[in-house]
Amino acid sequence: MKSSKNTIKDFFGNLRRKRLDRYKRKLEQQEKIHKLKDRVHKSSHSLLWVWEFSKKAVLICFIFYVIVQVYAMYMMYAFMDLSYLGELITETSQIVQNCVFAYLIKAGLENIGKIWFSRGGNNFSSQEPPEIYPDEPENSGDPDEPVG
């Protein structure tokens, strides 16, 4: 009787130790992943200004546009001369339009690159769709047939 209690106790003790060992290994793996992510973040942080530069360029371009428009409106009002208004609006809006258009192209190319590299660069047509319900048996009939 005593030996069976010890064996049950030992059995549950071994299960507990194995579970703790699994949790410890899992925690160590998560810590390694976290450290690697921190290293990547620190190394990529130095290049962050390059990625954010285009946003800053668009913002600066827009601020200059607003400043020029306000200044031009004030000067036209002060001298009561509106002869250059059409030219001013056309030229400054063209500059802002080019700046924003270039930013949109750059952002679109970055997003395409992110999508491409997140999928591993695989061709979308060669990928098989993921199995939604892996435990369900395969249907042998036509998918358009009624169920039942």
Q: What is the pLDDT of residues 64-73, one digit of tens each?
A: 888 988 998 8
List, for residues 2-15, the tens digit of each pLDDT value. Answer: 566 678 888 888 98
User: 126 in a domain, yes or no?
Assistant: no
pTM recorded for the entire structure: 0.43
Between CA 7 and CA 12, with CA 11 as vertex, the angle to 5 degrees is 125
Taking CA 141 as the corner, what is the angle to CA 137 and CA 143, rounded to the nearest 5 degrees? 90
Distance CA 112, CA 106 (A): 10
* Position 120 pLDDT exceeds 70: no
Residues 114, 133: Cα–Cα separation, whole Å? 29
Give the structural domain span for 90: 48-120
122 — pLDDT class (breaks 50, 70, 90): low
**Span 22-39, mean pLDDT?**
90
Tell me if 140 is assigned to some domain: no
Asked if residue 110 and residue 90 are part of one domain, the reply reads yes
87 plus 55 within the same structural domain: yes
Q: Which residue has the higher pLDDT, 52 or 22?
A: 22
69: which residues sit within 8 A by CB, 6+ positions away? 88, 92
Shared domain for 35 and 98, answered yes or no, is no
- Measured distance CA(91)–CA(100) in Å, rounded: 14
Taking Cα atoms as reference points, which of 120, 73, 107, 118 lies closest to residue 92? 73
- Does 6 share its domain with 66? no
Q: 5 with 31, same domain? A: yes
133: pLDDT strictly greater than 80: no
- Residue 139 in domain: no
Q: Is the pLDDT of residue 144 over 60?
A: no
Q: What is the pLDDT of residues 84-113, one digit of tens each?
A: 888 888 888 888 888 888 888 888 888 888
- Domain assignment present for residue 128? The answer is no
In a domain, 15, yes or no: yes
